[in-house]
Amino acid sequence: MTPNRLTELYDSYQEKLLFGRYITNQKIELVLKNIEQFFDVSTIGFSEEERPIYSVKVGKGSTKILLWSQMHGNESTTTKALFDLLNAFSKGEFSQILSECTLQIIPILNPDGAEEYTRVNANEVDLNRDAQDLSQSESRVLRQCFDNFQPDYCFNLHGQRTIFGVGASGNSATLSFLSPAEDKDRTVTDTRKKIMAIIASINNNLKADLPNAIGRYDDGFNINCVGDTFQSLGVPTILYEAGHYQDDYNREVTRQFIFKALFYGLKAISNGVDINNHKAYFSIPENEKNFFDVIIRNTILTQGNNETIDVAIQFKEILIDGVVKFVPYVEKIAKMDNYFAHNEIDANGSIVADQNNNPLEVANEIVFVMLNNCKILIKS
């Protein structure tokens, strides 16, 4: 499968009913109705607020793969890509994967969080820290599915903030992956090697499309995380993180790369994983938290002060009337030579003020700034 052919397939099968960041049960139910004639669509449990948690089963192969998305309700890019993939499956594409594998897909594990566009569930619990306590309905649904399905592999699908860069390269981490640790010593076991080999294959296939834009997530061990728990139980579990691509705050470009990464990951499994290929995983740079959405460089804050400084602005994602808005706030005021931004403004030693011509302060909402008596829009 050539990269161009995969792009063509994505363009053909992209699910048009799903767009942007706000993806809920109500939206995917429309899509599930369209595909239930092809796949086994069922309800496998309910959330804390009694919303259904759906499952889609596809394939007839002996290798079983469990995939779940929106464990964090505001991380929806992978959900969109899963439905793009299901559309392709429904038309007979990627048949070799389905002849070798059986997939069970949970498109939205946290429908209450998805509804409110929050990371946590209705009880304000992070489900990805509840793998041991299983205190929440959604956590118990996932664990019951895991126990019943007995997967050979798991795909733990997430989205990451715009703050992550690929090492100190100055490139945003559009995609990131992790083979989670199984113990506090981060022992490189055969289980971890399987996932490392899969990630290495994904990276090798995508690096031409995303040069220097794929990162490796931190592998600090936390047994309360689902990936660490499943990995410690001997089931290879890969973490996908959908990140930022330039000007793609709706994550529609990243969505295509996730679609491709899902294909390459499933293809690697269906072809048979050779753990001897795991070493290339370590050549992928680790993520660093070294990005802001906007940095205004070389500014002075008040008249008569000639010392230049930088202003970092971060967007808060706020759900307003069913639409996610990106609201700029001043995050930090300091010299930030070791940080990068998705958009940089050079003040060239001029004063930058807020829209009322007052000095900028940390935590201020700042839709636009005044620079040389001109309005500079921070985010439309």
43: CATH: 3.40.630.10
Instruction: Verify that 187 and 159 share a domain, yes or no.
Output: yes
User: From CA 225, how far away is CA 70, in angstroms rounded?
Assistant: 15
- Domain with residue 367: its CATH number is 2.30.40.10
pLDDT-derived band at 299 (thresholds 50, 70, 90) equals: very high
Last residue of a domain, one of 289, 319, 344: 289
Last residue of a domain, one of 254, 289, 324: 289
Instruction: Verify that 69 and 152 share a domain, yes or no.
Output: yes
Instruction: Verify that 9 and 27 share a domain, yes or no.
Output: yes
Q: Which domain holds residue 307?
A: 292-377
Q: Is 266 exposed, middle or buried (0-12, 13-18, 19+ CB in 10 A)?
A: buried
User: From CA 236, how far away is CA 231, in angstroms rounded?
Assistant: 5
Instruction: Verify that 282 and 298 share a domain, yes or no.
Output: no
β-strand pairing of 352-353 with 368-371: antiparallel
Instruction: Verify that 137 and 243 share a domain, yes or no.
Output: yes
Checking if the pLDDT of 15 tops 80, the result is yes
pTM metric for this prediction:
0.96
User: From CA 212, how far away is CA 170, in angstroms rounded?
Assistant: 9
User: From CA 150, how far away is CA 65, in angstroms rounded?
Assistant: 9
Token pair for 94? 């990627």
Query: What is the reported pLDDT for 99?
Result: 98
Query: What is the reported pLDDT for 366?
Result: 86
Query: What is the mean predicted confidence (pLDDT) over 355-360?
Result: 86
For the stretch 158-185, pLDDT in tens is 999 999 999 999 999 999 999 999 999 9
Indicate the SS3 state at residue 216.
strand
Query: What is the reported pLDDT for 380?
Result: 56
Residues near 8 by beta carbon (within 8 Å), at least 6 away in sequence = none
For the stretch 216-230, pLDDT in tens is 999 999 999 999 999
Q: Which of 17-26, 133-142, 263-272, 352-361 shows the lowest per-residue confidence on average (mean pLDDT)?
A: 352-361
Q: Edge to edge, what strands does the sheet with 352-353 contain?
A: 352-353, 368-371, 374-377
CA distances from 177 to 73, 103, 104 (A): 19, 20, 21
Checking if the pLDDT of 373 tops 90, the result is no
pLDDT-derived band at 307 (thresholds 50, 70, 90) equals: confident
Query: What is the reported pLDDT for 2?
Result: 84
